[in-house]
């Protein structure tokens, strides 16, 4: 569906079913340079199993218009305005990589609307090599390829796909090459409040779930474990998978996500 946020046409993927704000909403936040399609399979499951799905393309990403946001904090407050525009009341925030940094910022602003947070392949800080940011500014395609080469795990580098016949690296490359990757990476690099926000959520007794990838070379597992410690929760690790966890292991990641969110709803 399309909604207006900050006077910009904004695309929200709803998992193939009309959005119903009265249902518990699973809010899926994408990572740097990507879009809602990284959640394609998980979104459909939630949408067809009693939840409403709210998976936005951030401003200037893929199907959304507007100007790219330049800080994680501004992305977090944008999420709140987007949720307000759709009148979302019960929020399970889920973020992949940069998307979870945004989720941390949004979570502390949501108040009683927040039901849980779920982190996938991320950490409380995501420092980005300056050379990668520069490459993304000058040659987004080259930067996207560098990230995909690092981002996907071994099996996907050898052409594996959770969806028969598809090439996730090729799909990711096409999405990332057209999105404001440099802006996203610079925002990640500048963000330093992740650990503080995670501890804040823990002090609020916010239910949280951390899902890490065994072959993650972008947000290494040890950094994700620190995040889990800050959130005061246990981390689950999907082995044989790289940083692009939602696309590489949709079945395994969904299994953990749905078990957790269902337990919160009970």
Partner 1 sequence: MSKSSFLGADTIALHSGYQPESDHGSRAVPIYQTTSYVFDSVDEASALFNVEQGGHIYSRITNPTVAVLEQRLAALEGGAGAICTASGMSALFVSFFSLCSAGDHIVSAAQIYGSTVTLLKHSLKRFNIDCTFVDINDQTAVSNAIQDNTKLVFCESIGNPGLAVSNLPAIAKTAHAQGIPLVVDATFATPYLNNPIEHGADVVVHSVTKWIGGHGAAVGGVVIDGGNFDWLKSGRFPTLTQPYEPFHGMNFWEEFGPAALAMRIRCESMRDIGAAMTPHNAFLLLQGLETLSLRMQQHVSNAQAMVTWLQQQEAVAWVNHPDIDADTHTKTLFPKGAGSMLTFGVKGGRDAGAAFINALQLSSNLANVGDSRTLVLHPGSTTHSRLSETDLVAAGISADLIRVSVGIETLKDIQADFSLGLRAAAKIVANQVEA
Q: What are the residues binding partner 1 (CB under 8 A)?
A: 11, 13, 16-17, 35, 37, 40-45, 48, 62-63, 141, 144-145, 148-149, 155, 157-167, 169-171, 173-175, 177, 250-251, 254
Looking up tokens 């990284």 gives 38
Q: Report the length, in residues, of the chain.
A: 266
Minimum CB separation from partner 1 for residue 225, in Å?
27
Question: Measured from the CB atom, is 17 or 226 closer to partner 1?
Answer: 17
End-to-end CA distance of the chain: 29
Minimum CB separation from partner 1 for residue 173, in Å?
4
In whole angstroms, give the CA distance from residue 19 to residue 232: 32
Question: Measured from the CB atom, is 61 or 197 closer to partner 1?
Answer: 61
DSSP-assigned letters across all residues of 93-107: EEEETHHHHHHHHHH
Question: Measured from the CB atom, is 63 or 109 closer to partner 1?
Answer: 63
Question: Measured from the CB atom, is 35 or 216 closer to partner 1?
Answer: 35
Give every CB contact of residue 33 below 8 A, 6+ residues apart in sequence. 61, 136, 140, 144, 147, 175, 176, 179, 180, 181, 184, 185
**Cα dist from 18 to 23, 48, 50, whole Å:** 11, 10, 12
Question: Measured from the CB atom, is 66 or 224 closer to partner 1?
Answer: 66
69 DSSP assignment: P
Minimum CB separation from partner 1 for residue 232, in Å?
31
CB 97 within 8 A of CB 243: yes
Minimum CB separation from partner 1 for residue 45, in Å?
4
Q: Which of 170, 142, 168, 146 lies closest to 156 in space, CA to CA?
A: 168
Minimum CB separation from partner 1 for residue 6, in Å?
21
Question: Measured from the CB atom, is 21 or 163 closer to partner 1?
Answer: 163
Minimum CB separation from partner 1 for residue 145, in Å?
6
């Amino acid at each position: 569906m399309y909604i207006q946020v900050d006077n910009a046409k904004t695309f929200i993927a709803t998992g193939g079913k009309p959005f119903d704000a009265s249902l518990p909403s699973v809010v899926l936040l994408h990572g740097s340079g990507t879009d809602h399609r990284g959640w394609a399979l998980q979104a459909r499951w939630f949408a067809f199993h009693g939840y409403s799905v709210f998976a936005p393309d951030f401003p200037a990403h893929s199907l959304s218009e507007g100007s790219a946001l330049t800080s994680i904090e501004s992305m977090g407050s944008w999420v709140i305005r987007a949720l307000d525009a759709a009148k979302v009341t019960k929020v399970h925030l889920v973020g992949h990589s940069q998307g979870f940094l945004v989720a941390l910022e949004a979570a502390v602003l949501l108040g009683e609307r927040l039901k849980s947070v779920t982190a996938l392949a991320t950490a409380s800080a995501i420092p980005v090599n300056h050379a990668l940011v520069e490459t993304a500014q000058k040659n987004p395609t080259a930067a996207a390829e560098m990230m995909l080469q690092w981002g996907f795990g071994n099996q996907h580098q050898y052409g594996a796909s959770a969806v028969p016949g598809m090439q996730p690296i090729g799909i990711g490359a096409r999405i990332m090459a057209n999105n404001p990757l440099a802006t996203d990476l610079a925002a990640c690099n500048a963000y330093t409040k992740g650990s503080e926000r995670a501890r804040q959520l823990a002090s609020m007794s916010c239910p949280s779930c951390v899902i890490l990838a065994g072959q993650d070379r972008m947000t290494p597992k040890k950094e994700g474990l620190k995040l889990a410690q800050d959130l005061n929760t246990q981390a689950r690790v999907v082995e044989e998978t790289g940083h692009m966890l939602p696309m590489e292991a949709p079945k395994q990641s969904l299994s953990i996500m749905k078990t957790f969110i269902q337990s919160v709803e009970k």
